[in-house]
Amino acid sequence: MEKVNSREELKTLRQKYKDNVIMRLVSDNAKDRVEIYVAIGDCGLKSGARDIMKVIFDEVNAKRLEKVSVIAMDCVNGCDKPDAPKVEGNFACGHDPTVDVIFPGEATPTRHGKVNADMAKKIVADIAARLEGK
């Protein structure tokens, strides 16, 4: 246990322990964050989307992208509902692993289909570049 001997040491500790709470702080202010959704429903699971989610999460972590949240979501095309219309050319569950990226203020997400590990890294790198560009 570190003893805080000065204001600077408190600041250092705060930087360190911010990691504990940053997920909660950013999520509570959700309108300012970038959200990456990975479809890990039944079809996603079969296509290995959980591994892709892990790659994305690790990349976001490694790059310390504080304002980016990696969130799991259900199948994008309602494959569990047989009545749901299958849209040709759109990303059906057959295109899993599916990854959606939505920036603050955007109405619709950008959708990526058949994402592999390299593409996943590229998606995160693009987000990082776009955030830096701002």
Partner 1 sequence: MHKTRLQILICGGTGCISSGCLEVEDALVAALEKHGIRDEATILKVGCFGFCEQGPIVKIYPDNTFYVRVEAKDCEELVAEHLMKGKHVDRLLFKSPITGESCHHHMDMAFYKTQLRIALMHCGMVDPENIEDYIGVGGYEALAMALNDLSQQEIIDIVKASGLRGRGGAGFPTGNKWQFGLDNKSDKKYIICNADEGDPGAFMDRSIMEGDPHAVLEAMAIAGKAIGADEGVVYIRAEYPLAVNRLRVAIAQAEKYGLLGDNIMGSGFNFHVRVNLGAGAFVCGEETALINSLEGQRGEPRLRPPFPAQKGFWGQPTVNCNVETYACIPLIITRGADWFKSFGTEKSPGTKVFALAGKINNVGLIEVPMGTTLREVIYEIGGGIPKGKKFKAVQTGGPSGGCISEKNLDVGVDFDTLTAIGSMMGSGGMIVMDEDDCMVNIAKFYLEFTVEESCGKCTPCRVGNTRMYEILERITQGKGKPEDLVELRELGQTIKDASLCGLGNTAPNPVLSTLNHFMDEYEAHVLHGKCPAGACKDLVNYVITEKCIACSLCAKACPVNCIHPTGSETPNGKKKYVIDQEACIKCGACIPKCPPKIGAIVRE
Q: Which residues bind partner 1 (CB under 8 A)?
A: 1-7, 9-10, 13-14, 17-28, 30, 38-42, 44-45, 53-54, 57, 60-61, 64, 66, 69-74
Residue with smaller CB distance to partner 1, 80 or 106: 80
Least distance from partner 1 to the Cβ atom of residue 95, Å: 16
Least distance from partner 1 to the Cβ atom of residue 92, Å: 17
Q: For the chain, what's the residue count?
A: 134
Least distance from partner 1 to the Cβ atom of residue 123, Å: 17
DSSP 72-133: EE--TT-TTSTTSPPPTTS--GGG-S-EEEE-TT-SS-EEE-S--HHHHHHHHHHHHHHHHH
